[in-house]
Amino acid sequence: TFQQKPQGVGRGVYRDPSQAQTQKSMNIHHDKRVIKGNTYAAQVLPLSAQMELQMAEKESERQKKRIAAEHRRKKQEDQKRSLTPEPVEGRRHIDIQTELYLEDLTDKVQEAAVETQTDPMLDRPPTPKFVPSKSGKDAECQIEDGDLFDFDFEVQPILEVMVGKTLEQAVLEVMQEEELETLRQQQLEFEQRRKEEMVETQRLEAAEQRKYEEKERRKKQEQNRLRKEKVIKEKLAARVFSKQFLQNLEGKVFGKLEDEGWFYDSVEREVETAFMPWLFDAVDTQLEAMQKTRSLVDQLVKLSLEKATAQDSIE
């Protein structure tokens, strides 16, 4: 996976006393970074290796984000750090070393090659204390009073600028606070005025609503009154019309019923409805019997004549 930390395959020149005496196997065959098998076939990583690779990628991303956040933090700290004021006229700033040991700073570091031969399996000697080697030339100078600068005199313009800026900022903040207070007061007055206008508007709307409801109620009362008057007039007209219509109704009804035959004599009606139909039926029955009798007589006479004619012809 090429994500393992590098480690040596052999022992160093010196022994580390802090490590255990047991020696771990350093055979390259057991190294996880070495891929065993042919080099031309498709390499299929096992599930554990894939998970390890994903975890390594996530750790790398987190490390990159952490380094970027550290760079941003240092950059912000550098920006927040107060800068050195500009030198006064006739002076200039220079970079000096403030470390305990001074050394000559050059663009190219001096290098030297040293070789030595030691016997194997020697105890590591204690590390000596680091003492930088002396480089460059020593120089000294005597600075009298007033040679560098008078702090009280040099700091006066800076203090004037700082005090002036502070006072100006304070005045601006006070003016801003007064303006905000004025705006807040105006907002409160506006809210109060708007509430009063809203209350007045609600009162006017309520009065208008009451007037509208009273108007609708009066309209309904007037409509009900007109409807009742109309009903009364219609009833009165119907009563007058019915009274006029019913004055001669009895005589007309009886006359019409009599014309249509609803009022009749019971004997006459009995004769017309019962006796006359029975008489007609009896006459019809008797006539049919007489007709049958005559037809039989005619047939007998005809047969007699035919027989008589037949006998005469035989004789």
Q: What is the pLDDT of residues 181-235, one digit of tens each?
A: 999 999 999 999 999 999 999 999 999 999 999 999 999 999 999 999 999 999 9
How high is the pLDDT of residue 15? 58
8 Å CB contact between 12 and 6: no
CA distance 184 to 254: 101
CA pseudo-torsion sign 218, 219, 224, 225: positive
b/e map 43-78, b = 16+ CB within 10 Å = eeeeeeeeebeeeeeeeeeeeeeeeeeeeeeeeeee
| Runs of H (alpha helix) within the chain | 47-80, 151-245, 249-260, 266-270, 276-314
pTM assigned to the model: 0.26
Q: Write b or e for each residue in 228-245: b if 16 or more Cβ atoms lie within 10 A of its Cβ, otherwise e.
A: eeeeeeeeeeeeeeeeee
Torsional class of 254: left (φ above 0), alpha (ψ -120 to 50), beta (otherwise)? alpha
pLDDT tens digits, one per residue of 154-167: 888 889 999 999 99
Answer whether residue 2 shows pLDDT above 50: yes
Give the Å distances, CA to CA, from 143 to 45, 88, 148, 165. 74, 19, 8, 35
For residues 282 and 14, what is the distance between their CA atoms, to the nearest angstrom? 166
**Mean pLDDT throughout 298-310?**
85
